[in-house]
Structure 1
Amino acid sequence: MRFCLRFSAYTIAAFLFLYGLNDLIVVPSTRWIAWLTHGLLRGAGVQASVSGASVGIPGFAVEIKNNCNALYEIGLYGAAVLAYPASFRLRLAGFLLGAAVLYVVNLLRVVSLLALGRYWPGGFQAAHLYVWQALFLVVVAACWLGWITRLRPGA
């Protein structure tokens, strides 16, 4: 019960923090995701363009919105890590590793959605709104469960 209360409080705090610092943290991070996606695509030899939070490939483009930058998922994951009883050092290490994983997964999500929109436009909305939303929450849970399993081997 204590974990649930702390998790709820930390989740609310994380979301209020991000909401309050929208212009300072969330908007620039969203643009950064677009630029990183552009860089990944260009590095893979794909013709890509970027403008602000929009990234495109020939035949398809997306505008990355503030809730598509992994920050809210990282906030949710961070709340779970903070709420779980562990030392500060273990929490910090768990948070940093999990946040990095979630950030990379989000980049892969954006790249895959661009490819899907280009080659199967009819599947884009379903993949974006349902498949990737659910899959991303599964990745958040898997990161957290992986972290607590390492804390308590054999659990």
Structure 2
Amino acid sequence: MKLRSTLVIALAATSLALVGCASDSANTYTRSQAMRTSTAQAGIVESVRNVRIQNDTNAIGTIAGGVIGGAAGSQIGGGNGAIVAGVLGAIAGGVAGNQIEKNSSTQAALEITVRLDNGQRLVITQAADMSFSAGQRVDVISDGQTSRVVPVQR
């Protein structure tokens, strides 16, 4: 019984630790993005649309919820009743864990359409941690793998 409780706690802690590891912010750089040469292209914001960024789910929430629900359900009743309650608890826990993982890994974002000074149009989605409006001068900063929109500092 003690081993089962330890396993449940470990799985729950692992699922919480893995949620939200990535950043899509124009203000936050990962360690691997720092100290890289990037290019900046000037342009004007054509439009801004509110969207949501959802991290790819990795089933940790579903698994952890299923384990926790199954362990809790199996404590109800005895014999076949405990087995049935354990199975139902695992299903309910898995569904709840999946939903919690999705909700905790979703963030507000902006889809920003920029017309560069050379005429090219770009659409970049990033965290909604800055405000942008149509007609605003911006730079699109790109390191070859990621791009972000930042206001031009005057």
TM-score range, shorter chain: 0.3 to 0.5
| Higher fraction of strand | 2
TM-score by length of 2: 0.33
TM-score (norm 1): 0.33
User: Which structure would you say has the larger Rg?
Assistant: 2
Higher relative contact order (CA 8 A, sep 6+): 2
